[in-house]
Amino acid sequence: MEALLQLEAVSLAYGNSASNRLVLSDVTVDVKEGEFITVVGPSGCGKSSTIGLLAGLLTPTSGTIRLQGTPITGPGPDRAVVFQDYSLFPWMTALDNIHFALQQVRKATREEALQYLHLVGLSEAKEKYPGELSGGMRQRVAIARAFAVDAPVYLMDEPFGAVDAKNRIYLQDLLLRLWKTGEHSKTIFLVTHDIDEALYLGDRIIIFTPSPGRIRRIVEVPFTRPRTRAYLVHDPAYIQLRNEILSLLQDDLIGELELVEGGSGI
């Protein structure tokens, strides 16, 4: 089966020709339909830029990104995006945020929008503005908005990064539930700095090297679904895989540190 999302030798550099900074270098990966991909890597490795590229907010300096065989040229309703912050418009109520997003793809009533708010257990907060909601609640609304649009692809840039541990667990399970509901199969591309989150959610984990970001390795997550947290953390295979990823990330960081030290002449 052909891949849904194809990144082919994608590189991204910021700045002009005089001073450009390579952010991503030669990233090639195929994502299958219905797959849950998680991405981990040290900060500044271009994880977020990858989301920007897939969303069509950024254009690759070289290489191509294809969605269902067609190159991505800009943002589109076939990809829903959840950011760490700033997904929701602060001047619209929770309900209006979802309704507004729905209206961009089709004619929709506020009642329809309310269903999605209900899906994340926030129907009673429909008239609240994002500023009146907690960080966790805001992300629930943002996720509801993304799923309301019913796109085949979901791009999430550290969606639970600013949420406390308890809410994060709730949101992860909510996300898994939504991933498997609905008529169409959904493909998720989620960036995180939390290895446990990457392991718990992902079918495959893409591990990035420090800047410029390259794919260090792609790890298959062997655990069957539904996964149970309590069970996983005691599973030796889980612990081994987790340590393996951790040491990969640490090796890169140590490598980077030595490089800096060497450069300073110590």
Partner 1 sequence: MMQKTIDRLLIFLSIFLIWELCTHTFSILDPFLFPSPEKVAQLLVEDSEVFRKSFTSSIYLLTSGLILALLTAIPLGLLVGWQRRLHQAVEPLTNLLGPIPPIVYIPYTIALLPTFTLSSIFVIFIGAFWPLFINTVAGVQAVEKGLIDSARTLGVSRWTMLTRVLLPGALPHILSGGSISLVLAFILLTAAEMIGATSGLGWYVKYFSDFADYPRVVAGILVIGIVVLLLMTVYRQVSSYLLRWRTSG
Sequence-distant (≥ 6) Cβ neighbours of residue 43 within 8 angstroms: 193
Sequence-distant (≥ 6) Cβ neighbours of residue 38 within 8 angstroms: 190, 191, 192, 197, 198, 199, 201, 202, 204, 205, 206
Does residue 77 belong to the site contacting partner 1 (CB under 8 A)?
yes
Specify the amino acid at residue 172. Q
* Distance from C-alpha of 228 to C-alpha of 67, rounded to nearest angstrom: 32
Task: Report the residue from 10, 24, 29, 88 that binds partner 1 according to the rule CB under 8 A.
Answer: 88
Give, as ranges, the residues between 142 and 201 that touch partner 1 (CB under 8 A).
149
Which of these segments, 2-10, 79-87, 106-114, 118-126, binds partner 1 (CB under 8 A)?
79-87
Taking the complex as a whole, the smallest distance from the CB of residue 254 to partner 1 amounts, in Å, to: 33
Between strands 153-157 and 187-191, the pairing is parallel
| Chain position carrying tokens 């679904």 | 225
Element at 182 (helix H, strand E): none
How many chain residues bind partner 1 (CB under 8 A)? 29
Give, as ranges, the residues between 54 and 73 that touch partner 1 (CB under 8 A).
55-57
Give, as ranges, the residues between 213 and 242 that touch partner 1 (CB under 8 A).
none
* Distance from C-alpha of 108 to C-alpha of 97, rounded to nearest angstrom: 13
Which of these segments, 85-93, 181-189, 231-239, 246-254, binds partner 1 (CB under 8 A)?
85-93
Does residue 14 belong to the site contacting partner 1 (CB under 8 A)?
no
Task: Report the residue from 22, 32, 34, 100 that binds partner 1 according to the rule CB under 8 A.
Answer: 100
Comparison of 117 and 207: residue with beta carbon closer to partner 1: 117
Which of these segments, 17-25, 97-105, 191-199, 216-224, binds partner 1 (CB under 8 A)?
97-105
